Amino acid sequence: MSDCVFCSIINDDIPSHKVYEDENVVAFLDANPVSKGHTLVVPKTHVDNIHDASEMQYMWDALVEVSNALEKACDPEGINIAQNNGEAAGQEVFHLHFHVTPIYEGDELEIEYDRSELEDGESIAAAVKDNIA
């Protein structure tokens, strides 16, 4: 897609700091990192989100490879892997991507949700199971 910033990075139309690349995936440092080493892992094929990625099992291998490299290179206390789908979930670039974010002592990641007790778990689980392909 010509207007997709990640497609432009994949095609080398926009400079980036690539740290990993194979025939299916590219990984590069986030231009606006939340921590040292914050890396985006992106499929070369443009899909908007995880719902269009049923044939992209290769993403797992790249995520493990990049995570292991970041652990060795940056020596973080932990690594967070996140993937957002849709504007309501915080997705800003509509090309599937995973954030691999090293977490350092003193900069621990805080994710806050308005949690409640599970209600109607049996019917929700049944509905999800019925929709597993």
Which residues are catalytically annotated?
Answer: 97
Sign of CA dihedral 9, 15, 18, 21: positive
d(CA 116, CA 85): 22
Token pair, residue 133, equals: 């392909």
Write out the E strands in the chain: 18-21, 25-29, 39-43, 78-82, 98-103
Q: Is 17 exposed, middle or buried (0-12, 13-18, 19+ CB in 10 A)?
A: exposed
